Amino acid sequence: MTTLTLSRALNEGLRKALENNPKALIMGEDVGKLGGVFRVTDGLQKDFGEARVIDTPLAESGIIGTAIGLALRGYRPICEIQFDGFVFPAFDQIVSQLAKMRYRSRGSLRLPLVVRIPFGGGIGAVEHHSESPEALFAHTPGLRVVACGGAADGYAMIQQAAQSDDPVIFFEPKRRYWDRADVDVDGGLAGALPLEEARVLVPGTDVTVLCYGPMVRTCAEAAVAASGDGRSIEVVDLRSLAPLDTETIFASVRKTGRCVVVHEAVVTGGLGAEIAARISQECFYSLEAPVLRVGAPTTPYPPSRLEENYLPDLDRILDAVDRAFSY
């Protein structure tokens, strides 16, 4: 085991992807000489050359459009969108072309393309740098949408995404880039969970808390805090947002009888709404309380000095857990 930050674990995972497949390449703004804004691609252009780690123009639509063409020619592009709020110029390419090409060709064409997106807030950034647009992509058929929560998952999941024959939208929680964890960099992917499976991070018996990305660490901390009050929280890291691992979700909710869904994105129309609807439909007779959601209020992301009041935190999660026991 090696202790790595999430950013370094992703770097090592990308290195493995480039080493294992000569058709894999990385594209994006400042990914080469600079190594990316968060240094996730640091050193890769030096080791693999400018033909495989490509500094692109400042044009997200052009990055994804070019990558689609490369994927159709047999390459496996891994594109970086520098910040979450910058993905929208490429949104048409992603939802109109990338997501639909395999279906409309009846499977004769495939687009093995990864779109890496640092997402979420908590870093004191300026406007358009702290968005959580995952529900827009999870709503679009034809895309795999995943979010890593820590270094070990990031290392494995980015390699699995690079091997997928389906397009993958890969969300990275930017405020967790500097969190450290033990990573098995020599063990390969033999022991890694499949890309579409959720993980029971903290076993529990009283209430299920579902989360992903930047909220995984916060919910794990909530489980520790709640245990001091005699409540046992089961924390499930969803990992895959489309498709959802409903088998793991339903099994946990049927065991605990209560559920809280936590995400940074706004509550209105967020992924939590879809999850709550599915749980209510499939686990109705197991529920002791309504499925509750914790997320951001339905406003644009605020100036950085106010983001602590906007983002879900330990207190808001514990308050929702308390309310789940009040019905």
187 — pLDDT class (breaks 50, 70, 90): confident
- Residue 291 is assigned to a structural domain of this protein: yes
- Which pLDDT belongs to residue 10? 98
Amino acid 159: pLDDT: 98
**Predicted confidence band of residue 302 (pLDDT cuts 50, 70, 90):** very high
- Report the mean per-residue pLDDT for the chain: 97
pLDDT at position 191: 86
Which residues carry out catalysis? 129
38-47, 78-87, 183-192: least confidently modelled range: 183-192
Q: How confident is the model at residue 176 (pLDDT cuts 50, 70, 90)?
A: very high
| 28 and 171 housed in the same domain | yes
Q: What HEC string does the chain produce?
A: CEEEEHHHHHHHHHHHHHHHCCCEEEEECCCCCCCCCCCCCCCHHHHHCCCCEEECCCCHHHHHHHHHHHHHCCCEEEEECCCHHHCHHHHHHHHHHHCCHHHHCCCCCCCCCEEEEEECCCCCCCCCCCCCCHHHHHCCCCCEEEECCCHHHHHHHHHHHHHCCCCEEEEEEHHHCCCEEEECCCCCCCCCCCCCCCEEEECCCCEEEEECCCHHHHHHHHHHHHHCCCCCEEEEECCEEECCCHHHHHHHHHHHCCEEEEEEEECCCCHHHHHHHHHHHHCHHHCCCCCEEEEECCCCCCCHHHHHHHCCCHHHHHHHHHHHCCC
Q: Of 140, 156, 183, at which residue does a domain stop?
A: 183
Same domain, 49 and 74: yes
Q: What is the pLDDT of residue 190?
A: 83
Residues 11 and 125 in one domain: yes
Q: What is the pLDDT of residue 136?
A: 98
- Is residue 167 domain-shared with residue 227, that is, in the same domain? no
> Looking at 159, 183, 207, which one is the last position of a domain?
183
Do 170 and 228 have their domain in common?
no
Residues 304 and 169 in one domain: no
* Whether the predicted pLDDT of 289 surpasses 90: yes
pLDDT in tens, 53-104: 999 999 999 999 999 999 999 999 999 999 999 999 999 999 999 999 999 9
Give domain status of residue 306, yes or no. Answer: yes
State mean pLDDT over 243-247: 98
| 214 found inside a domain | yes
- Here the CATH number for the domain that contains residue 124 is 3.40.50.970
Based on the fold, state whether residues 257 and 130 are members of the same structural domain: no
Question: What pLDDT sits at residue 42?
Answer: 98
Same domain, 212 and 270: yes
Do residues 219 and 171 share a domain? Answer: no
pLDDT surpasses 90 at 254: yes
From 183, 218, 248, give the residue that closes a domain: 183
Q: What is the mean pLDDT of residues 261-275?
A: 97
**Looking at the structure, do residues 102 and 223 belong to the same domain, yes or no?**
no
The stretch 138-146 carries a mean pLDDT of 98
- The total domain count for the chain is 2
- Tell whether 189 is covered by a domain: no
Does 188 score more than 90 pLDDT? no
Q: Which domain holds residue 141?
A: 2-183
pLDDT of 40:
98
Examine the domain organization and report whether 29 and 129 are in the same domain: yes
In a domain, 192, yes or no: no
Evaluate if residue 19 carries a pLDDT over 90: yes
**Is 155 in the same domain as 59?**
yes
Is 129 within a domain?
A: yes
Evaluate whether residue 190 is within a structural domain: no
**305-326 per-position pLDDT tens digit:** 999 999 999 999 999 999 999 9
Here the CATH number for the domain that contains residue 218 is: 3.40.50.920
188 inside domain:
no
Arithmetic mean of pLDDT, 254-266: 98
pTM over 0.85: yes
**Average confidence (pLDDT) over 137-159:** 97
